[in-house]
Amino acid sequence: MDQPRKPFKKPGRPELQQGKKERFIRARLTEDEYNKLVALEKELGMNHTDLIRHRLLGSQHKQLVNAREVLNRLDVMGSELGRAGNNINQLARHANILNKRGRLDEMVVKEFNLLFREYARIRNDTEKSLRQIIRLIRG
């Protein structure tokens, strides 16, 4: 009459068979070392376990960065590039108006072309650098 019970299945995520973190390490730090650790945690936006794991066991050639800070700075840089492009468009429009009226000086055109080539070179170098940064962040 009594039927055997089914084994009780725990709710939630299944237990890891591989890569299970079972070992615990304790370390004593001076007050100064601890403050440096806390500052680094805040700067990188990581908890101390992940920070220590990355520093000790991660690739030695990789640099940990605060992704939020990098993205904020890239955003500012993109805004500046956009403003520079807008200024160039305004100058070109003004030059076209002067040219239609026959009042455009040839020296101004030469100077503008020289500065525009320099701007284009800097913009291309910046784009290359940004692509490299994105590749590094992705790993």
pLDDT digits 0-9 by tens, 5-46 = 777 777 888 888 888 888 888 889 999 999 999 988 888 888
Residues 34 and 97 in one domain: no
> Is residue 93 located within the same domain as residue 60?
no
| Residue 80 structural domain | 67-138
CA dist 91 and 122 (Å) reads 18
Would you give the distance in Å from CA 7 to the centre of its chain? 49
What is the pTM assigned to this prediction? 0.51
- Reading the block at residue 117, the tokens are 């080539």
Instruction: Assess whether 57 and 98 both reside in one domain.
Output: no
Above 80 in pLDDT, residue 132?
yes
Per-residue pLDDT at 124: 92
Residue identified by tokens 């100064």 is: 32
Q: Are 108 and 81 within one domain?
A: yes
Contact 84, 119 (CB under 8 A): yes
